[in-house]
Amino acid sequence: MGRITLDKVSKSFGDVEVIPPLDLTIEDGDFTVFVGPSGCGKSTLLRLIAGLEDTSGGHIRIDSQDATHVPPAKRGLAMVFQSYALYPHMSVRKNIAFPMKMAGVSEEEQRRRIDAAAKALNLTDYLDRRPGQLSGGQRQRVAIGRAIVREPAAFLFDEPLSNLDAALRVGMRLEISELHKRLRTTMIYVTHDQVEAMTMADKIVVLRAGHIEQVGSPLELYRAPRNTFVAGFIGSPKMNLIEGPEAAKHGAHTIGVRPEHIDVVEENGIWQGTVGVAEHLGSDTFFHIHNTGLTDTLTVRALGEVTLSHGDTIHLSPRAEQIHKFDAQGLRIE
Amino acid sequence: MARAVTSKRKIINTAAAWTVGLLIFFPILWTILTSFKTEATAIADPPVFIGFEWTLANYATVLERSDYARFLWNSIIIAGGSTILGILVAVPAAWSMAFVPSKHTKDILLWMLSTKMLPAVGVLYPIYLIFIKLGLLDSRTGLVIVLMLMNLPIIVWMLYTYFREIPGEILEAARMDGASLKEEILYVLTPMAVPGIASTLLLNFILAWNEAFWTLNLTAAKAAPLTAFIASYSSPEGLFYAKLSAASTMAIVPILILGWFSQKQLVSGLTFGAVK
């Protein structure tokens, strides 16, 4: 079981309040992602749950037990760090065995769980190596193995893929998602990468300056961002946010249209502009469009290969039903 | 990127390194050579380098006249004792400075180092008086304490630098893995810090072994270590060059052997943090 409840949890470093009191419930078995720009307090929040930082106020409950003042060792959570944080003087086998040794698991049981974890993570051939002799991806697998064997109430991941190269990152992302499907254990995952958040999460928690901006499933956040911050943060490329007369036409202070919700038309588009940079990805083409009179740069996604080059005039039609409206405070208008 | 080293450059570098090495080593070599000369050859002008009649007479005389074993034993006790005592005090100090630093940690470190800038003779008088009061004059205990205090700033600095290199996340990982503070120190921190602790031990043993100011001023006969043993062969007339050299050689050989076998440790200790 691993239901985690934060009740008015806050954190200050000296006079600086990095997390104002916040409430959050993480359901048992959920894959929850904390996402936000750097410095938004997402890692601090994770460290509060882990017990590596003391709360300045509020209560943390793990499976309805008050864990606010329980030391990290006794919370029954496992953590995977960005830097892997393996024990450099121990072999892979000993690294994985360490939490079980601390918990007093019998040697026989330790061996059984190590073998199972090594098999699941493709580490069987590396059990007698030291972390220094492994690649980044393998090291991260060892860190995950070390977390799995202790059979924790929840896994905490602190930007675990940031140190890996792009190709490896995609692979490990899938591995972690598969691990979650198999174990069905609560996982909390911190990242600044909204693609990771969208692809892995059951539930995303968007944070800014210690505040929770929105909580919801990836598609909820994509379809109905609660404010302009979430609107701009979730989705790639970013949503176009337009202010001024065009927004006023829709009775809003700001309107938002995602690049994929603007169609490129032959002529008589509602909007028009000149093509700036075109990014050809094969499956899609992203156009950065200037001189629209709406914003500095409007991003548009066209399916497939579209042959328009720099300086060409382009006609555009936003899909009316996909226009998001926000008021002067940046809040969504339904 | 590695810089390309041409073979010509390599030869020049090697020659330069050997020259510097020999220059530094020459006084020690000269001492060792002189110890095998007769007193007359030792003061010969021009000096004789190698072509002399080798003799062990100086060693025989020195061993006969003085109780070498007692001086050696005192040196071992004083250098070893002050080093071990120093480590016991410095480990917790460096530990807390590295892992739970306060606003004033940097100031304390600098203040400690500043005490090394004071000429030792500046505190000779008060320490001498304290020693008389406490009955510590010419005692090994007294020297162990004084040398420990003299070297403590260096021990703390070295250990602090070592501990700082240990990433905090590894300690946090141990905590998450269910380790208590004791287990964290025993299974994770100490094994990772062993090379640092070892080279600190070595360096301080060598410093304490060679220390002459306090050992000469605070001992007479009972607690005198090898430095006093050497000093007893120096005389204003300079008549006993060969015997003085024999005594010096006997005093430095043990530490030279220790240094030779642990040079890898020493170098890694001294350059730790500077070169990664």
| Alpha-carbon distance B100 to nearest alpha carbon in chain A (angstroms) | 13
**Best-predicted range by mean pLDDT (A106-115, A262-271, A306-315):** A106-115
Say if residue B273's pLDDT is above 80: no
Q: Which two tokens stand for residue A40?
A: 């938004």
**Mean pLDDT to the nearest integer, B94-119:** 88
Host H or E run for residue A326:
strand A324-326
Q: Residue B62: pLDDT band by 50, 70, 90 thresholds? A: confident
Cα angle A265, A268, A269 (rounded to 5 degrees) comes to 55
Report whether A173 contacts A137 (CB < 8 A): no
Domains along chain B?
67-232 (1.10.3720.10)
Using a CB–CB cutoff of 8 Å, tell me whether A89 touches chain B: yes
Quote the pLDDT of residue B236: 62
Interface predicted TM-score of the whole assembly (ipTM), two decimals? 0.85
| Alpha-carbon distance B43 to nearest alpha carbon in chain A (angstroms) | 56
Average pLDDT of chain A, as a whole number: 91
Residue B174 to residue A103, Cβ atoms within 8 A: no
Quote the pLDDT of residue B239: 67
Chain B residues lying within 8 Å of A156, measured CB to CB: 176
| Alpha-carbon distance B187 to nearest alpha carbon in chain A (angstroms) | 9
Average pLDDT of chain B, as a whole number: 86
Say if residue B271's pLDDT is above 60: no
Percent of chain A with pLDDT over 70: 100
Interface test with A, best of B103, B166, B176, B183 (most A CBs within 10 A): B176
Rounded to the nearest 5°, which phi and psi values hold at B172? -65, -40
pLDDT digits (tens, 9 = 90+) for A147-186: 999 889 999 999 999 888 888 889 889 989 999 999 999 9
* Distance from chain centroid for Cα B275: 22
**Mean pLDDT to the nearest integer, A47-56:** 94
pLDDT digits (tens, 9 = 90+) for A317-329: 999 899 999 999 9
Size of interface A-B (CB pairs under 8 A): 60
Using a CB–CB cutoff of 8 Å, tell me whether B165 touches chain A: no
Domain spans in chain A, listed from the N-terminal domain onward: 4-230, 237-333
- How many Cα neighbours within 13 Å face the side chain of B73? 7
Using a CB–CB cutoff of 8 Å, tell me whether A86 touches chain B: yes
Q: What is the CATH number of domain A4-230?
A: 3.40.50.300
Quote the pLDDT of residue B238: 58
Interface of A with B in 99-128 (CB under 8 A): 99, 102-103
Residue type, B153: P
Smallest CA-to-CA distance from A221 within A210, A208, A211, A235 is with: A235
CATH 2.40.50.140 correct for A237-333: yes
Cα angle B137, B142, B145 (rounded to 5 degrees) comes to 155
**Mean pLDDT to the nearest integer, A13-39:** 93
The residue with tokens 């050997």 is: B18
The per-residue b/e assignment along A167-205, b for 16 or more CB within 10 angstroms, e otherwise, is eebeebbebbbebbeeeebbbbbbbbbbebbbebbebbb
Residue A146 to residue B188, Cβ atoms within 8 A: no
Least confident residue range of A206-220, B8-22, B91-105: B91-105
Q: Which two tokens stand for residue A76?
A: 């029954």
Using a CB–CB cutoff of 8 Å, tell me whether B122 touches chain A: no
Q: Residue B116: pLDDT band by 50, 70, 90 thresholds? A: confident
Q: Decide if A4-230 and A237-333 have a common fold.
A: no
Picking from B176, B180, B191, the nearest residue to A78 by CB comes out as: B176
Quote the pLDDT of residue B270: 58
What are the residues facing A155 on neighbouring strands? Answer: A78, A187
Q: Residue B66: pLDDT band by 50, 70, 90 thresholds? A: confident
Q: Residue B1: pLDDT band by 50, 70, 90 thresholds? A: very low
Picking from B169, B172, B178, the nearest residue to A102 by CB comes out as: B178
Rounded to the nearest 5°, which phi and psi values hold at A322? -105, 15
Length of chain A: 334
**Mean pLDDT to the nearest integer, A98-111:** 93
Residue type, B235: S
**Mean pLDDT to the nearest integer, A254-268:** 91
- DSSP string covering B2-68: PPP--HHHHHHHHHHHHHHHHHHHHHHHHHHHHTTS-HHHHT-SSPP-S-S----HHHHHHHHHS-H
**Mean pLDDT to the nearest integer, A119-142:** 90
Say if residue B3's pLDDT is above 70: no
Using a CB–CB cutoff of 8 Å, tell me whether A87 touches chain B: yes
Separation CA A255–CA A249 (nearest Å): 10
**Mean pLDDT to the nearest integer, B51-65:** 87
Quote the pLDDT of residue A226: 94
Q: Which two tokens stand for residue B179?
A: 């380790």
| Alpha-carbon distance B120 to nearest alpha carbon in chain A (angstroms) | 41
B183: nearest CA in chain A? A102
**Mean pLDDT to the nearest integer, B261-267:** 75
Picking from A83, A146, A156, the nearest residue to B169 by CB comes out as: A83
pLDDT digits (tens, 9 = 90+) for A171-229: 889 989 999 999 999 999 999 999 999 999 999 999 999 999 999 999 999 999 999 99
Host H or E run for residue A156:
strand A154-158
Say if residue B269's pLDDT is above 70: no
Sheet containing strand A271-280, edge to edge, reads: A262-265, A313-318, A271-280, A284-290, A298-303
Percent of chain B with pLDDT over 70: 92
| Alpha-carbon distance B190 to nearest alpha carbon in chain A (angstroms) | 10
Say if residue B163's pLDDT is above 70: yes
Quote the pLDDT of residue B274: 40
Say if residue B28's pLDDT is above 80: yes
B180: nearest CA in chain A? A73
Say if residue B58's pLDDT is above 70: yes
Q: What is the pTM of this model?
A: 0.77
Quote the pLDDT of residue B275: 35
Q: Residue B268: pLDDT band by 50, 70, 90 thresholds? A: low
Quote the pLDDT of residue B276: 31
